[in-house]
Amino acid sequence: MGNDTTMTTVAPFLAGGGEIGALMRSRDWSSHPLGDLGGWPPSLRTIVALMLSSRFPMFVAWGDELSFLYNDAYADILGAKHPDALGGRFADIWHEIWSDISPLIDAALAGEASYRENLPLVMHRKGYDEPTWFTFSYSPVVGHDGAIAGMYCVCTETTGQVIAEKRRAADSRRLRDLMQEMPAFIAVMTGPEHRFAYVNDAYVAITGSRDYIGRPIRDVLPELADQGLFELVDRVYANGERQVEHAAPVWFAHEDEPRFIDFLCAPMVGHDDGAITGIFVSGYDVTERLRAERAVRDSEAYTRLLLDSTAEGFYAVDRDGVTTLCNDAFISMLGFASKDEAIGRKLHDIVHHSHPDGSTYAASDCPIYLAASAGTPAFVSGERFFRLDGSSFPVDYRAEPVMRHGEVVGAICTFVDTSEREQAQADLAQQARVLETLNRTGAALAGELDLDRLIKRVTDAGLELTGAQFGAFFYNVLDSEGESYMLYALSGAERAAFDGFGMPRATAIFQPTFQGNGIIRSDDIMTDARYGKTAPHFGMPKGHLPVRSYLAVPVISRSGEVIGGLFYGHEDPAVFAERHEQLIAGIAGQAAIGVDNARLFQSTQRLNDTLEERVRERTAELEQAQEALRQSQKMEAVGQLTGGIAHDFNNMLAVVIGSLDLLGRRIGDGDARQRRYIDAAADGARRAALLTQRLLAFSRQQPLKPEAIRVNQLVSGMSDLLRRSLGSDVLLETVLAAGAWPVHADPNQLENVILNLAVNARDAMPEGGRLTIETQNAHLDARYVAHHPGLTPGQYALIAVTDTGAGMPDDVIAKAFDPFFTTKEVGKGTGLGLSQVYGFVKQSGGHVKIYSEIDHGTTIKIYLPRLIGDTEEAAPDVFSQDVPLGDGREVVLVVEDEPSVRAFSVDALTELGYRVLEADGAGAALRLLDAHPEIDLLFTDVVMPEMNGAKLAEEVRVRRPDLKILFTTGYTRNAVVHNGVLDAGVNLIGKPFTVDELAARVREVLDIVPTGVAARDAGGAGSAD
């Protein structure tokens, strides 16, 4: 104590100074470069006295060695370097940052003061490298001789502020990114004028693309002026009370109807003075929800705009891992009843106790706990969180340490459930595998003409696509009893597995497949009521493959023949789903085409070289086809079938009918026997064409030519025809409403529908009765159409056909519109009449309904949409009874890629008196057109390879704008027929056609006076299917 007093006497400038002053007084400085305290220069003494008396961190570096002196406040900055740093060399003390600060020190020693704010420095003062930030000034200090003897520093450590500011900036960015990604719309407005400071994409999607930022709401959205919304935000800004609105109707200028909005309008309060600085708006467009679910309303306002508005789970823990905070998503995702149930607990052993492989996850290894205890941030992907019920879900999470005064006090964790992402990736991989299998199988089947290998490929592909254990293809053949299903191919099991068992029979579970009545799928065949009820086996036979899950799909050729069935099984229940049905249905379709191709190849190989034998075989095939068409079983997937029929069968029928027509014209009436054969074959082919047309009508693929129709005039005009068709025993009565609305439909098809219904009604009254045809105006409201999917509310013209016949039971009504369903005797009807009615009405945008009561009669009501606007009816077509011929000078260019159809067209047109040129495709046709300017008519198929007929017509009109064009096709879904309606200005003759029909249509097109408009419209048709 005496020594300290002595030193104070010797060096009074060291009086006080706290710990550092005491250290300096007690130290022997005689051997130090600075020398004894009594010899320190006045300038050094002055600045040391000033430094020791200050509470602000300061230091001075003096002399050639830059000896380092500092005060108590600066000692905290030195950390573990204190007290050894006192009197040490500046360069040794802060060697780790010397490269950063030495230029500033050199400048100060050269007489240039400097100031740095928030300079980043990596210091090693606590045993580890630590990022820090400092604000400081370096000033030169002049000695007694006028030279610079050292430098002086006043500094402040700003590490905490800088980190906090960075965190705030990151939080602000995250919040802005979060608000941008949120499904809710968000807008931030500032000031009393409510100028937009921020809007997210969801807000723009609702209000429309406008210039928002910096502009007042009244300028940006003036249409809100009379809707009370301006007044609402004014009130919130004025009184600081938030407003929540539910299903508020809001009209926007760019929309014709109001949107209904749930939104929160809340004040934003300044951090300094608590004054309101702006308005925060967030919410959802609930328009569609209100339209679909009138009774549903949000039960709660949107609260906790930051944490609780994000879909990410969030929670915070202290250094010991105790939960201190969580959001609603955390509670929901982990199954807690409330936040109180989670807060205050260590949750690692509850929600994060195991690795994905099931091994124990120690809390000491958990990145979240390491962030909380050691300050180590982490981003982790691919781990799992566990719910309270024990179930788990995959997560990606980020753990960030929470620092306070430079110390780690805990951590925050944000996480997302990646189940949907992983499922999407798995689904995508599965789809890729499915597509690869389908492409591989399709490519293999396209070139495979060996039936054994083809069917084995199909069966194996189905096994791969469904995950089944067993797969089989049973071939549909007939035995003496009319049925037999032969095992053709087997996958996943040895053929010996079927030894000792008979082939499947016509039981409730197998028969639908072999009759082509759709797909059979059973989650557990052992409990299926359709299985195992037929002797000799009741239930699963002993030794049978262990099948529980069952899937069976018929394989149906384009002609409607059930070739066989694909059957798949698995020993576990509920393995197959709807997507497996779709996949196997696709494979079955490919198989059917492949089998047809293989059969055709085999048939071609077996053809006899003699024409007579080929004619006999072709005649037999036609007879078989006619019989198959008359006896075809009900098709569940008729839409898929009709496309093939329209394209392929109509092409074949075009050749058959045309050839028979030409042959008949050439032999005349001289040979009655040949004439009888030809007429019989032609009649069968025409009936096949009619059946194809009826299938097209049911599947809504027939090309319609809709016109404005006054239903009263159409019904009145049919009265004589109906009376002749009904006979004398049936009394016809018409009840026509005054002012019945017009409709837009194909008049010929509508007449066919009424006549069809009238004939059906006549057959239901064998003893005679009354048939009433009534017209009315009808309005179908939303309540009615809600029970009839696909129907639109509105005004309809109603045509009702009522008989006093036997009536229909409910089970017959339920199947009345099914194709091939009939209650008539075999050979008395095709079962396509009502299905044709149904298809026409649906294709015309209408609705058909049956009302019937046993012993009282039946009413069938047809609703067709009311036509608004021009109701002028088209003039009726007038046809000459004579076959129009060419004059020998007119030239027709026939373009057809099918050789047989092209040959018939050329022969027919030649016989009709036209000069004919022919081309097998668009390229050849264009070359002929350039070489023959005398061509008067282009007669072209629509569906052709490389360039279709519509594209050909478009190119032709560039070269020959006035050239007449007549299209022909056997397939209505193509480039000149869209949505079942023939394109405007297009001339079309459908396949098959007779020579007389061709003659009339060619003459009609050649006699058209060109207007230019129809030509341009037809040339603009789309590309072919």
> How do residues 249-288 score in pLDDT, each as one tens digit?
999 988 888 999 999 998 988 766 778 889 999 999 999 8
pLDDT score at 358: 84
**Where are any strands of DSSP class E within 903-982?**
915-919, 935-941, 964-969, 977-978, 981-982
Query: CA distances (Å), 925 to each of 930, 949, 985, 1012, in order?
Result: 9, 11, 22, 22
From the number of C-beta atoms within 10 Å of its C-beta (0-12, 13-18, 19+), residue 925 rates as buried
How far apart are alpha carbons 859 and 802 in whole angstroms? 4
DSSP letter at 653?
A: H
**Residues 55-69: pLDDT tens digits?**
999 999 999 999 999
Q: In 632-671, which residue ranges form alpha helices assigned H by DSSP?
A: 638-644, 650-667
Amino acid occupying residue 951: K
Contact criterion met (CB below 8 Å) for 503 and 472: no
d(CA 241, CA 226) in angstroms, rounded, equals 22
User: What pLDDT does residue 398 have?
Assistant: 94
φ/ψ bin of 794: left (φ > 0), alpha (ψ from -120 to 50), beta (otherwise): left
Checking if the pLDDT of 613 tops 80, the result is: no
In 10 A of CB 304, how many CB atoms?
Answer: 10
User: Does pLDDT of 502 surpass 60?
Assistant: no
pLDDT at 859 > cutoff 80:
yes
- Name the residue with higher pLDDT: 877 or 925: 925
What's the mean pLDDT when you consider all of the chain?
80
Range list of β-strands (E), 227-322: 243-250, 259-269, 276-285, 313-318
CA distance 56 to 152: 13
DSSP 881: S
What is the spatial distance between Cα 987 and Cα 918, in angstroms, rounded to a whole number?
19
Residue 522: closest CA among 558, 599, 574, 485: 574
Whether residue 759 contacts residue 733, with contact meaning beta carbons closer than 8 Å, is answered with: no
Q: Are strands 148-157 and 769-780 parallel, antiparallel or unpaired?
A: unpaired
pTM: 0.31
Q: What is the DSSP string of 669-727?
A: TS-HHHHHHHHHHHHHHHHHHHHHHHHHHHTT-SPB--EEEEHHHHHHHTHHHHHHHH-
Instruction: Read off the pLDDT of residues 764-814 as tens digits, 9 standing for 90 and up.
Output: 888 889 999 999 888 888 878 877 777 889 899 999 999 998 888 888 888
> Which carries the bigger pLDDT value, residue 845 or residue 1016?
845
pLDDT digits (tens, 9 = 90+) for 282-304: 999 999 898 877 654 434 345 46
Tell me the per-residue pLDDT of 522-548, one tens digit each, with 9 for 90 and over.
888 777 767 655 555 555 666 567 788
Which segment of 187-191, 501-505, 667-671 scores lowest on mean pLDDT?
501-505
The Cα–Cα gap between 491 and 462 comes to 9
Give, rounded to a whole angstrom, the gap between the first and last alpha carbons of the chain.
108
Cα 877 to the center of its chain, rounded Å: 47
Length of the chain: 1025
Identify the pLDDT of residue 1016.
Answer: 42
Tokens describing residue 85: 């740093």
The string of DSSP codes covering 748-794 is HHHHHHHHHHHHHHHHT-TT-EEEEEEEEEEEE-HHHHTTSTT---E
Work out the widest C-alpha separation in the chain, in whole angstroms: 156
Average pLDDT over every residue of 603-607: 60
Asked if residue 869 has pLDDT above 90, the reply is no
Kindly state the helix (H) or strand (E) to which residue 149 belongs, with its residue range: strand 148-157
The residue among 827, 373, 325 whose CA lies nearest residue 365 is 373
Look at 306 and 56; give whichever has higher pLDDT. 56
Helix ranges (DSSP H) in 221-286: 229-239
- Per DSSP, the residues of 515-536 read TT---EEES-GGG-TTSS-BTT
> What pLDDT is recorded for position 430?
74
What SS3 string covers 930-941?
HHCCCEEEEEEE
Are 667 and 806 within 8 A, CB to CB? no
Amino acid (one-letter) located at 682: A
Highest-confidence segment of 528-537, 666-675, 868-877: 666-675
| Percent of the chain at pLDDT exceeding 70 | 76
| Average pLDDT, integer, range 307-336 | 90
The residue written with tokens 């921020």 in the block is: 198
Out of 250-254, 553-557, 628-632, least confident range:
628-632
Q: What is the pLDDT of residues 939-957, one digit of tens each?
A: 998 888 888 888 999 999 9
The two three-digit tokens of residue 337, written as one number? 């009843």
For strands 259-269 and 562-570, give the pairing.
unpaired
Q: What are the counts of helices (DSSP H) followed by strands (DSSP E) for the chain?
A: 33, 34
- The whole-number pLDDT of residue 173 equals 76
pLDDT score, position 193: 93
The pLDDT of residue 91 is: 94
Range of lowest pLDDT (549-553, 563-567, 811-815, 828-832): 828-832
Q: State the burial class of residue 825 (Cβ atoms within 10 Å of its Cβ: 0-12, 13-18, 19+).
A: exposed
How far apart, in whole angstroms, are the C-alpha atoms of residue 678 and residue 659? 10
Q: Tell me the two tokens of residue 164.
A: 């906090």
Residues 6+ apart with CB under 8 A from 475: 485, 486, 487, 488, 563, 564
Confidence class of residue 483 from pLDDT cuts 50, 70 and 90?
Answer: low
Phi, psi of 354 (to 5 degrees): -140, 150
d(CA 68, CA 85): 7
Q: How far apart are CA 557 and CA 551, in angstroms?
A: 20
The pLDDT assigned to 371 comes to 92
Is residue 409 within 8 Å of residue 402, measured between CB atoms?
A: yes
Q: How far is CA 474 from the centre of its chain?
A: 36
| Alpha carbon distances (Å) from 22 to 4, 289, 395, 807 | 8, 78, 58, 119
**pLDDT greater than 80 at residue 655:** no
Instruction: Check the CA dihedral 757-842-949-935 and report its sign.
Output: positive
pLDDT band at 873 (very low <50, low <70, confident <90, very high): low
Banded model confidence at residue 619, pLDDT cuts 50, 70, 90: low
Give strand pairing partners of 404: 407
Strand duo 769-780 + 276-285: pairing = unpaired
Q: Cα–Cα distance between 849 and 105 in angstroms, integer?
A: 98
Q: Which of 486, 454, 635 is nearest to 567 (CA)?
A: 486
Task: Say how far apart CA 172 and CA 160 lie, in whole Å.
Answer: 18
Query: What type of residue sits at position 561?
Result: E
User: Looking at the DSSP assignment, which residues form a beta bridge with residue 61?
Assistant: 68, 151
